[in-house]
Structure 1
Amino acid sequence: MKSNEIIKINTIEDYTERLGCPSANHPLISINRLTEVKDYVPIGSPVQLNLYSITIKDGSTCNAKYG
């Protein structure tokens, strides 16, 4: 893969397969701990996520509210 080639991730399935995460139990939602990721996308390669991603750092205090 060229370093300037954009890695496109369009679905949750693409995301879990590309990063080596366990397969998702639901096609629209997946919760992954990045410390358990086996095959992370190479550093410096551009990635286009065509889905929503929420990232929370371990040890941070997070009081998330929705609605």
Structure 2
Amino acid sequence: MNTLQRPLNGRIFGGVCAGLAQRFGWRPSTVRILFVLSCLLPGPQFLAYLALWIIMPSEGSARATA
């Protein structure tokens, strides 16, 4: 399996959904649609997205290779 990281290509906004899709073998559009739909429910989805954006290393960064 791939490691959890934000890809350099295919990003729309931060690359979190694309990174999650790449990690679990899903299509990025599916993950994006699921995220948008989850935002209709109460909960901290937006904060989770921001946290993942900060925590997930970008593809090719020094943190990703360590």
TM bracket (short chain): under 0.3
Larger Rg: 1
TM-score normalised over the length of structure 1: 0.25
Higher-RCO chain (CA-CA 8 Å, sequence separation at least 6):
1
TM-score normalised over the length of structure 2: 0.26
